[in-house]
Amino acid sequence: MTSHPHPEATVPQRLRILLISSEVEPFAKTGGLADVAGALPKALAGLGHDVRVLMPKYRGVERHAGSLAPRVPGVQVPIAGRIAEGTLLEGRMGAGIPIYFLAQDQYYDREGLYGTGEGDYWDNCERFIFFCRAALEGLKRLGWIPQVIHANDWQAGLVPVYLETLYRDDPGLAKIATLFTVHNLAYQGVFWHYDMAMTGLGWDLFTPAGIEYYGKLNFLKGGLVFGDLLTTVSRTYAREIQTPEFGCGLEGVLQERSAALHGVVNGIDYEAWNPASDGEIPKGYTADDLKGKRACKAALQEELGLAQEPAPLVGMVTRLVEQKGLTLVLDALPGLLAEGVQLALLGSGEPALEQAFGDAAAKHAGRVAVRLGYDAGLARRIYGGADCFLMPSRYEPCGLGQLISLRYGTIPLVRWTGGLADTVKEFDPAKQAGTGFGFAPFTHEALLECARRALAVFRQPRLWQRLMRNAMAEDFSWEASAREYVSLYRKAVKAAAR
Ligand code: ADP
């Protein structure tokens, strides 16, 4: 009877991992999910794992994928009283990683990923039911079965549900463990209850303990209820989303799954973001030789029409939306200017915020510079040229701006929430330890008080240089995060084997 080895001994060193994501950089992107799905597989492959990726074949992916070879034709899924058929095509992403594109042109060969400017596609429920179920049907015939599926966000939320129900006894798929990651809790994939029939799942799942949510069908909830392990993109956000303030109505589900829920912070690409080799900044620099950063600051002041003086230059590169705490910046501005600060902001978003920052720039010419729009080059020159980087977010699942600014020795001033709280450490002048400055209350007074602490250090150039070096010595490359995912994959595989 006990001839099987103990499950703990059965998790091999080299894991087979399938990452399922509805967007992957560079093929298709609407948000941070695509960055993660593009970068994490490379880091996992770098650690020696057999990682592959699966996404829909949207219009235009060939531009980045090159020639695609049909791998599994005739993938059939019963849906809405008929059979929908797709094909798994195989291509390669960076580092030679196999990527499978699920082709079904009626669903995915469209102008947008989820909709157009007019709104979401009316059949998104059907499109992503097909995505989840066809991924598993295709996998059965691929000749390669992963030990763990890493499913992401609502679009892949039904994958763990199907594995635990319709495919529970499937000889090929039954043993696959799942890790489900939420990148943005605000997007849940909620559809009316009539769509339940299309899923092929029994109505017994349409309960508060299953995938029902206030009378509707909720894909994200499916992933959260049925995933073996759950993650989100920082430890603090993982705690925060279990509270009504941050839980978007799913806090109860997340509390129930608390033991399975982990936070793994996103990384950034340390080659793409490197002040020593960044072609967009006027002069390169390193932690050992910071002279170039002064040249970057002077050039940025000139580019933006800011007074050429040794004033502390605070940068911001951000979507102009409520989440980012921009009203605090507007309210704190007179106080910041009284402290001698210069502000350089690049962003686009809500018209009222664009207007307010435009007005501030007009009123304080030479002290406040605002550029509206998306500009990757200017963003880099701000990361390179500013002294501080301000992110007073109301909430922040992970945040990339503070990671980039640490890499560039541009000291983050942040609100202690989500990933900001996990990646920035308050500088202690006595110990000369820490990498930035933060504040907790969501008020402009707290922001101002935080800025004053930073400025007190800024006025001591040697201490400030020490702080810059501390920031630049941090490691938020993908490798460290990939190792955390691997240890969670192993844990999920062990749990699923029991
Ligand atoms: P979010 O994903 O919520 O917008 P993050 O901090 O996680 O916030 O990531 C935002 C990324 O987009 C950062 O790399 C930032 O530099 C970049 N970004 C935001 N707005 C702009 C802009 N207007 N121009 C160029 N880059 C921008």
- Confirm or reject: Cβ of 312 under 6 Å from ligand 1: no
- Confirm or reject: Cβ of 423 under 6 Å from ligand 1: no
Nearest Cα residue to atom 1 of ligand 1: 399
Q: Is 350 among the domain residues? A: yes
Quick one: 299 and 322 in the same domain? yes
DSSP string of 127-176, one letter each residue: HHHHHHHHHHHHHHTTS---SEEEEETGGGTHHHHHHHTTTTT-TTTTT-
Q: Which atom belonging to ligand 1 lies closest to the Cα atom of 391?
A: 6
Q: Which atom belonging to ligand 1 lies closest to the Cα atom of 323?
A: 3
- Confirm or reject: Cβ of 412 under 6 Å from ligand 1: no
pLDDT at 1: 39
Per the structure, the complete domain to which residue 128 belongs is given by 16-267+479-497
Q: Is 227 among the domain residues? A: yes
Q: Is 285 among the domain residues? A: no
CA proximity to 163, closest of 140, 193, 186, 142: 140
Phi/psi of residue 351, each to 5°? -55, -40
Q: Is 367 among the domain residues? A: yes
pLDDT at 3: 44
Quick one: 116 and 70 in the same domain? yes
Quick one: 248 and 100 in the same domain? yes
d(CA 369, CA 347): 11
- Strand pairing of 97-103 and 115-116? unpaired
Alpha-carbon torsion angle 479, 484, 485, 487, nearest 10: 130
Q: What does pLDDT average to in each consecutive run of 10 residues of the chain (498 residues)?
A: 48 92 94 92 97 97 90 96 97 94 98 92 98 98 97 98 96 94 94 96 96 97 98 98 97 98 95 95 97 97 97 96 96 98 96 97 98 94 98 95 97 98 98 98 98 98 98 96 97 88
Quick one: 178 and 136 in the same domain? yes
d(CA 496, CA 498): 6
d(CA 82, CA 235): 44
Quick one: 244 and 312 in the same domain? no
Quick one: 119 and 253 in the same domain? yes
Question: How many whole angstroms from 400 Cα to the centroid of ligand 1?
Answer: 7
Quick one: 249 and 335 in the same domain? no
Ligand 1, pocket-test mutation among 183, 320, 383, 400, most atoms within 8 A of CB: 400
Q: Tokens 């303990």 correspond to what residue?
A: 209
pLDDT at 184: 86
pLDDT at 277: 97
Q: Is 238 among the domain residues? A: yes
Q: Tokens 């793994």 correspond to what residue?
A: 264
Quick one: 492 and 444 in the same domain? no
Nearest Cα residue to atom 2 of ligand 1: 32
Domain at 40, CATH number:
3.40.50.2000
Quick one: 212 and 104 in the same domain? yes
Question: Under DSSP, is residue 406 helix (H, G, I), strand (E, B) or coil?
Answer: helix
Ligand 1, pocket-test mutation among 317, 345, 375, 413, most atoms within 8 A of CB: 317
Quick one: 191 and 53 in the same domain? yes
Contact 224, 253 (CB under 8 A): yes
Ligand 1, pocket-test mutation among 278, 319, 375, most atoms within 8 A of CB: 319
At 324-356, the pLDDT tens digits run 999 999 999 999 999 999 999 999 999 999 999
d(CA 197, CA 216): 12
- Confirm or reject: Cβ of 374 under 6 Å from ligand 1: yes
Question: How many whole angstroms from 149 Cα to the centroid of ligand 1?
Answer: 29
- Confirm or reject: Cβ of 28 under 6 Å from ligand 1: no
Peptide bond into 26 cis (omega under 30): yes
Nearest Cα residue to atom 9 of ligand 1: 400
Q: Is 273 among the domain residues? A: no
pLDDT at 2: 40
d(CA 465, CA 168): 58
- Confirm or reject: Cβ of 347 under 6 Å from ligand 1: yes
